[in-house]
Amino acid sequence: MRCPSCNSLDTQVKDSRPTEDSAVIRRRRVCMACNFRFTTFERVQLRELTVIKRNGRRVPFDRDKLVRSLQISLRKRPVEPERIETMVSAIVRELESGGEAEISSETIGEIVMEHLRSLDDVAYVRFASVYRNFREAKDFETVLGELSSEDDARRVPLRK
Q: What pLDDT, in 10s, does the model give residues 51-71?
A: 999 899 999 999 899 999 999
Q: What is the DSSP string of 97-137?
A: TTS-SEEEHHHHHHHHHHHHHHH-HHHHHHHHHHHTT--SH
pTM, whole model, 2 decimals?
A: 0.64
From the list 26, 4, 28, 8, the residue with the least C-alpha distance to 17 is 26
SS3 139: helix
SS3 141: helix
From the list 97, 88, 2, 5, the residue with the least C-alpha distance to 45 is 97
- pLDDT per residue over 112-129, tens digit each? 988 998 888 889 888 888
Domain boundaries, the chain: 11-43, 50-154
pLDDT for 111 equals 92
Q: Given a cut of 80, is residue 131 above it in pLDDT?
A: no
